[in-house]
Every structure is written in C-alpha cells, then in structure tokens.
Amino acid sequence: MGAYVIKRLLLTIPMMIGITLITFLVIALGPSKSPEEGLNQNARQADRKSTSRRTPRMRKVFGKDYPNNSLLNQYGNWVSNAVRGNFGESLVDGLPVIDKIKAALPVTLFFNVLTIVMVYLLSIPLGIFSSTHRQSKLDKVITFVLYLLYSLPTFWVAILLIRYVGSRSTGLGWFPYNGIHPEGYEYMTTVANYLGSVKYIVLPVICMVYGSFAGLSRYTRSAMIDVVNQDYIRTARAKGVSETVVIYKHALRNALIPLVTLLGGLLPGLIGGSVIIEQIFGIPGMGRMGYKAVMDKDLTLIMTTTTFIALLTMIGILLSDLLYAVVDPRISFEGNAT
C-alpha cells in the first residue's frame, strides 16, 4: 500500500510535466502572436498597451533573456521557478499569481467538495431506493426524470434558475445569483458573512450537483441490481437474514466499490463545468479566473491555473484509487500497480 502510494505520487511528476508542457507549447506555438489576430478586444488592447510591461514580467519566470531564448529553456526556467514556488506575476495587472490562486482556489475547492459530497449523499439513497423498488411506478418516474436531468445542459439550467427562481422581477426572487458574498460583507463579522453567503451558493450548487447526481444515481441503481442478482445475496436471503440487512450490509457494501472509482472520473468534468457556472454566477473561483486569463492571454496565470487544476484532479483520482483499496479489501496494489 505504502509502496503503491509512493509509486503513484512519483507518477504524478511526469504527468504534471506533460500537462504543463502541453499548455505551454499550445500557447507558445499558437499562431496568433500578432495583436490583430487576438481573440477579443480586451486581449488586443491589453496586448498593445502592455507589451512593454509584459516582457519584464515574463522574464521573471521564463528566463532573463526571455523572448530570445529557446522554448525548452523558457519551459525549463518556468519549471524550476514553479518548483521553488515562484509562479511570477500576472501579465495583466502585475499582481503575484500565487496570491490570485490563493484567493480563487478555496472557492473552487469548496464548491467542488460540497458538490461531490452532496452528489454522493443524494444519489446513493436514491439509487438504493429505485433498485429495491425496481419496476414500480415510482422507480420508472425516477429513472425517467434522472434521464432528463442527465441530458440538461448546465448553462441552460443555470439561466432558467436565475430567471424563474433567482430573479426578483421575473421569478420568485428566492436566491441572489451574483457573486458569493452578501452586500457589504466587508463590514460584517465572519459568522454573519458565512451565513449571508449560504443564500448565494444555493443556485450554483444546484447547477453543479444535478448533472453528476443524475449520472451517479443511475449508476448506483445498476450497480445495486448487479449485486442483488449475485448468488451470495440469494444465500443471505435463504439464511433468513432480514431484507434491511441484506440490502445495507450485503449488497450496498459491494455496490459501493464501482461507485468509488467514479469519483476520479467526476472531477475533471466538474472542474471543466465550473468554468461556465462560475462565469454565469460571478463566482471568483479558478474556472472564472482561468477563463479570464485565457481571454487576456495571461501566460503566467494560465500556466499556474492549469497546474493547480491538474494537481487537484490528480489528487482526486489518487484519492479515489486509495479509497478503492479501503472499500474493497481484496484489492492489493502490490505487483500490478500500473
């Protein structure tokens, strides 16, 4: 187990190099070097105005003779700086990148962890319910609704929620939908601030939860049905074990195994999806910052954001792998770690 963790952790190094290298090369080799070909007006203006300001900022992380050294040298300099914790300054406003990340990462982390916890808390009971009430009318309704939820585009749901639940003029006006802090939060106590924020995070969390929730519930249901059809369940029932024990002790524990592995698969999708959600709801998280960085061609910020997002994803996947071993004692990672 310990050896596996170490091996796995060592494996993240080439993967991080691969991911950052791809990002770096995509930006460095991208054809639209000239400001005219830039994507949006902001980037163009930023390019024109700050070319003079950008180069010295780039030099701090990409090498002293930045525009003239080779790509490999630039990348090498970036890596050696990044390893020492020096991610440089944002090309746009000159603020240290790491400060920006420090502000944004907790927000995204909070939303993602909350989402994952809620997804699992909601979908496992629902999956168990519909597998035990298989082919009942309620199960069919649940399956149908989950199917619809599964195909609903997130941004559409977000807009619908804003219009019909969030908006005061056209909807119920229950929840505010802009930002995550209540008005005047600078002057509030911490507790009041957190309590006030609860209202703000309802809509975005709904948007983030429902898609994965639908997928996971369907998966739970099929995993449960798979297990319930096994011989040992029949044996347990034949022994006269009560149905509750059969379901919750014999079946559920085995059905959990495939569900745990799904955790790793959920993460990249969640983080990718949070770009749109954070953009719509004005949440100052990693997705929104990354989007803005990409639009501004803020190379240092893009590199750092990508690094951290990839790191986050990999930690998630690693965790799910380890959980796999915890949930299923039969699995040992020795010998077949790759």
Partner 1 sequence: MTGDALTPQHGPGTDATPDQNPDTPRPSGDAPIEAASETYSHMVWRLFKSNRIAMLGLTILGLMYILAVFAPFIANRFPFIWRAVPKPDTTLNQTDLDTLAGIMSPEQLQSLRAHTGNTETDSTHNAVPVTVFPLFTQFIEPKETIDRVFNLMAVFWFGMMFYLPIMALHKKRILLSWTVKRHAIVSLVATGAVLIAGLTFRGPDFSAYDNTPQSAPFDRFFNVAVLTGILLLIYPILKAGEWKNRLRAWTLPRHLSAISILVAGLLIAGYGHAPVRDTGFNKLNALQKYEVHLFDLFGFFWIIMTLYHLKRIPRFAARLKTWSFGMHSGLSAVAAIILALVAGTTQTSRHFRADRWFTISKAGKMDAMSYYDMYTNDPFYKNDPNTFALFTPIKYGPLEDRTLEKLQPPLITGNAIKSVKRVNPADTRRRLLGTDDRGRDVAARMLYGTRISLSIGFVAVGIATFIGLIVGSLAGYYGGWLDIMISRIIEIVICFPTFFLILTIIAVLNPSLFNIMIIIGFTSWTGIARLVRGEILKLRRQDFVIAARALGLPNSRIIFRHILPNALGPVFVSVSFGVAGAILTESGLSFLGIGVPSPAPTWGEALRQAQQNIDKAWWLVTFPGIAIFLTVTAFNLVGDGLRDAMDPRLKR
- List residues near partner 1 by CB under 8 A: 14-15, 18-19, 22-23, 26-27, 30-32, 37, 39-40, 43, 134-135, 147-148, 150-156, 159-160, 162-163, 167, 169-170, 222, 225, 229, 268-269, 271-273, 275-276, 279-280, 287, 290-291, 294-295, 297, 302, 305-306, 309-310, 313-314, 317, 338
Cα gap 68→3, rounded to integer Å: 44
Q: Which residue has the tokens 């070319």?
A: 51
Cβ at position 32, least distance to partner 1 in Å: 6
Please say which residue, 189 or 216, places its beta carbon nearer to partner 1: 216
Residue type at 127? Answer: G
DSSP 209-246: HHHHHHHHHHHHHHHHHHHHTSHHHHHHHHHT--HHHI
Cβ at position 26, least distance to partner 1 in Å: 6
Cα gap 59→296, rounded to integer Å: 18
The residues, ordered by sequence, that sit 6+ positions from 297 with a Cβ below 8 Å of its Cβ are 27, 38, 39, 43, 46, 47, 91
> Is 66 within 8 Å of 55 (Cβ atoms)?
yes
Cα gap 132→184, rounded to integer Å: 49
Cβ at position 227, least distance to partner 1 in Å: 12
Please say which residue, 188 or 322, places its beta carbon nearer to partner 1: 322
Q: How many DSSP H helices and E strands does the chain contain?
A: 12, 0
Cβ at position 189, least distance to partner 1 in Å: 33
Cβ at position 211, least distance to partner 1 in Å: 10
Tokens of 186: 């600078």
Please say which residue, 61 or 271, places its beta carbon nearer to partner 1: 271
Please say which residue, 5 or 188, places its beta carbon nearer to partner 1: 5
Report the phi/psi class of residue 70: left, alpha or beta, with left for phi > 0 and alpha for psi in -120 to 50: beta
Cβ at position 108, least distance to partner 1 in Å: 11
In this structure, the dihedral spanned by the alpha carbons of residues 262, 268, 273 and 276, taken in order and rounded to 10 degrees, is 170
Please say which residue, 40 or 242, places its beta carbon nearer to partner 1: 40
Please say which residue, 184 or 269, places its beta carbon nearer to partner 1: 269
Please say which residue, 189 or 336, places its beta carbon nearer to partner 1: 336
Please say which residue, 33 or 249, places its beta carbon nearer to partner 1: 33
Cβ at position 70, least distance to partner 1 in Å: 19
Cα gap 317→262, rounded to integer Å: 9
Cβ at position 237, least distance to partner 1 in Å: 14
> Is 216 within 8 Å of 120 (Cβ atoms)?
yes
- Treating both helix axes as pointing N-terminal to C-terminal, what angle do 252-281 and 190-228 enclose, rounded to 10 degrees? 140
